[in-house]
Amino acid sequence: MRTTQVAYEADGWGVGELVVSGGRVVWHELPHPTLRTEPTGTHEIAEMLQAYFAGEDVELAGVAVDLEYDSPFFTRCAEALRAIPRGEVVTYGELAALARAPGAARAAGTFCARNRLGLFVPCHRVVAAGGLGSYGSYGIEYKQRLLELEGAL
């Protein structure tokens, strides 16, 4: 199985990393200005990501990704999130309900915190009931910027 790792630059966002194995995205690190990696190589999916960060309406839900998670609930969360259209958001409670586990909002938050597929499983589209919520090491400003890019704010 062929594995490709690419570091790509997104103007104004920084450098991101992408790993594709067997034709599926298995890992995606969002671009960040503090990432110490230099851009390397090219890949059609990396080019799609660059277009996304340039503001183009790129459809990433159709890109094949590795959805093998450690629990059926996490897999259902990933599948539900891939169906949330660009420009829309759901709360953690709504994501849990979409994943057939109403009342599991905290577990949905845990799933988002562990997401290894960046924009392909768009956890930035999950917000807290009373505001944007957090976005891990990227911070709330990054999440807000992504949602603004997609027209959700």
Query: Residues with catalytic annotation?
Result: 123
How do beta strands 14-21 and 3-10 pair? antiparallel
What is the rounded distance in angstroms from the CA atom of residue 106 to the CA atom of residue 19?
28
Which pairs count as long-range contacts for 99-103, CB under 8 Å and 24+ apart, including other chains? 99/73, 100/76, 101/73, 101/76
| Residues ≥6 apart with Cβ < 8 Å to 41 | 4, 6, 7
> Tokens 């915190």 sit at which residue?
113
